[in-house]
Amino acid sequence: MCSKPDDPVEYLESCLQKVKELGGCDKVKWDTFVSQEKKTLPPLNGGQSRRSFLRNVMPENSNFPYRRYDRLPPIHQFSIESDTDLSETAELIEEYEVFDPARPRPKIILVIGGPGSGKGTQSLKIAERYGFQYISVGELLRKKIHSASSNRKWSLIAKIITNGELAPQETTITEIKQKLMQIPDEEGIVIDGFPRDVAQALSFEDQICTPDLVVFLTCTNQRLKERLLKRAEQQGRPDDNLKATQRRLVNFKQNAAPLVKYFQEKGLIMTFDADRNEDEVFYDISLAVDNKLFPNKETAAGSGDLDPSMVLDPGDITDPGSDYEDQDDDRLDVSGEDPVGGLVEELRKCKIIFIMGGPGSGKGAQCEKLAAKYGLAHLAPGRLLRAELVANSERSRLIRASAEREEQAPSAVVLELLQEAMTARLGDARGFLISGFPRGLKQGEEFALRVRDPHLVICMDCSADTMTRRLLQRNPGGGALDDATKVVGKRLETYYRACLPVLAYYEGRARLRKINAEGTPEEVFLQLCEAVDCIF
Residues near 284 by beta carbon (within 8 Å), at least 6 away in sequence: 272, 412
Side chain identity, residue 310 = M
Q: Sorting pLDDT into bands at 50, 70 and 90, what band is 486? A: confident
CA atoms within 13 A on the CB side of 70: 6
Would you state the pLDDT for residue 39?
59
- Which of 2-6, 71-75, 263-267 has the highest average model confidence (pLDDT)? 263-267
Side chain identity, residue 104 = P
Average pLDDT of the residues of the chain: 75
Does 324 score more than 60 pLDDT?
no
pLDDT single digits (tens) 78-137: 444 444 444 443 344 445 578 888 888 899 999 998 887 888 889 999 998 888 999 988
The alpha carbon dihedral of 372, 377, 380, 384 has a sign of positive
The alpha carbon dihedral of 86, 89, 94, 98 has a sign of positive
Would you state the pLDDT for residue 213?
94
Q: Give dist(CA 98, CA 105) in Å, integer.
A: 10
pLDDT single digits (tens) 144-172: 777 766 677 777 777 766 665 667 777 88
Please give the domain boundaries of the chain with CATH numbers for all domains: 8-69 (no CATH), 107-293 (3.40.50.300), 308-533 (3.40.50.300)
pTM of the model: 0.43
Q: Of 98, 165, 176, give the one whose Cα is nearest residue 137.
A: 176
Neighbours of 368 (CB within 10 A): 16
- Of all residues in the chain, what percent carry a pLDDT higher than 70? 71
Q: Of 311, 289, 321, give the one whose Cα is nearest residue 125.
A: 289
CA-derived radius of gyration, the chain: 33
Q: Is 204 exposed, middle or buried (0-12, 13-18, 19+ CB in 10 A)?
A: buried
Quick check: helix, strand or coil at residue 98?
A: coil
Identify which has the larger pLDDT, 239 or 420.
420
Residues near 65 by beta carbon (within 8 Å), at least 6 away in sequence: 58
Q: Give dist(CA 480, CA 476) in Å, integer.
A: 9
Q: Give dist(CA 179, CA 470) in Å, integer.
A: 64
Q: Give dist(CA 243, CA 236) in Å, integer.
A: 14
pLDDT single digits (tens) 258-317: 888 889 888 899 888 888 888 888 888 988 888 888 876 544 333 333 333 333 343 333
CA distances from 89 to 158, 205, 234 (A): 20, 19, 39
E-only strand ranges, 358-409: 376-379
The answer to whether residues 152 and 85 touch, using CB atoms and an 8 Å cutoff, is: yes
The answer to whether residues 472 and 481 touch, using CB atoms and an 8 Å cutoff, is: yes
**Edge-to-edge strand ranges of the sheet holding 351-357:** 376-379, 431-435, 351-357, 456-461, 512-516
Q: How many residues does the chain have?
A: 536
Residues near 75 by beta carbon (within 8 Å), at least 6 away in sequence: none
Q: Of 445, 422, 443, give the one whose Cα is nearest residue 349.
A: 422
Would you state the pLDDT for residue 491?
86
Would you state the pLDDT for residue 95?
54
Q: Sorting pLDDT into bands at 50, 70 and 90, what band is 63? A: low
The answer to whether residues 289 and 122 touch, using CB atoms and an 8 Å cutoff, is: no
Side chain identity, residue 1 = M
